[in-house]
Amino acid sequence: MDISFHWEGPTIHLSGQSGSINPIASILLYSGFVLGAFITFKGYQWFRLKRIIENMPKSKIRSIAMGLVEIYGKVKPYGDNVLISPIGKQNCIYYASMIDRLIKIRERGRIREEWRSAYVKMKMVPYFKIYDETGEVLVKTEGSKGLMRTIKLNPSDYKEGLNLEAVKKIIEDDNEMPKVMKILMAGADGTDKFRYYEIAVKPEDNLYVIGDAGRNPFVESGAAQKSEEAIMISKGKHENIFYISEKDEAGVIKKLKRDSLLGISIGVIVMVISLTIILIKLGLF
């Protein structure tokens, strides 16, 4: 420890303890600060979307005007844009399917059980229609948020009843599933236990949509018999707001409020902790 005296009073210099940060620790700390800033920004985006939804009246489909619109109605497939859910084999325009496998792990002479993912698939059609009592309109799903999200589940959300043969068939039939998943399942036997979760948005289900109403590229100018036939809702070029949800408006607002509060709170906490540690390590705090 080096000590130097000035007329104002003693100042302590901690050689080797401040002024520099271990390179690996430095990367982790700065990464933590950037991550915190990103989470805070996402929280702000969710808060902004919540305020926009709160202040925007829903439109009847026949009354849609060009620009940002908010509608709520029932799903109708567009042409052959239909999916079949992997587990329930339901016709739908969106599904999220998950299968977990219960495995045994030997640890310190003991055996414990743990659920691990065996299959995860989420998919949405590129186009579908949504209708209400006044008309129907085309929706292009590319770039949408809401349905295409990380789903957090509780143990009570899962169901049981799938056997090994059923799981293997689901995985083998999925041409988009990476081969590594199929190889991992090769070691399973008839004693394995499985649980599953699947959500699907089917024809006639209700959906909430907020997005940009623009020209429908599949309808020639002047050929539409109804005004809404000439419109397609999609992600706007200038306004980055496009949200599709199986919840109604109140449910969407509730979710966005929760996510924004969590995002901003967690992000700020991570930023403050990272910045404080950086300043301490640099001897500036």
Q: Is residue 157 within 8 Å of 197, Cβ to Cβ?
A: yes
- Look at the pTM and tell me if it is higher than 0.95: no
CA distances from 190 to 65, 86, 94, 168, 195 (A): 58, 21, 31, 11, 14
Cα 127 from Cα 208, distance rounded (Å): 15
Q: What is the pLDDT of residues 137-165, one digit of tens each?
A: 999 999 998 887 777 788 889 998 888 88
Closest among 122, 121, 96, 113 to 193, alpha carbons compared: 113
Whose structure tokens read 């619109």? 69
> Which residues, at least 6 apart from 75, have a Cβ–Cβ distance to it below 8 Å?
93, 128, 129, 130, 201, 202, 203, 204, 205, 206, 207
In Å, what is the CA distance from 225 to each residue of 139, 213, 220? 18, 18, 11
Domain ranges of the chain: 1-55+250-285, 60-246
Buried residues in 244-265 as b, exposed as e (16+ CB within 10 A): bbbeebeebbebbeebbeebbe
Average pLDDT across the chain, whole number: 84
Q: What does the pLDDT look like over 42-74, one tens digit per residue?
A: 899 889 889 988 988 889 999 998 999 999 999
pLDDT for res 76: 97
Nearest of 207, 98, 240 to residue 155 by alpha carbon: 98
Specify the range with the lowest mean pLDDT, choosing from 9-13, 116-120, 202-206, 223-227.
Answer: 9-13
**CA distances (Å), origin 65, targets 71, 202, 227:** 12, 27, 9
From residue 152, how far is each of 22, 156, 157, 264 by CA, in Å?
36, 12, 10, 19
Q: How many residues does the chain have?
A: 285
Amino acid at 3: I
Of 96-100, 111-115, 171-175, which range is least confident?
A: 171-175
Most confidently modeled range among 22-31, 72-81, 161-170, 225-234: 72-81
5 has pLDDT over 70? no
Query: For the chain, where are the alpha helices, taking DSSP H only?
Result: 23-55, 164-173, 179-185, 249-281
Element containing residue 106 per DSSP (H, E): strand 94-107
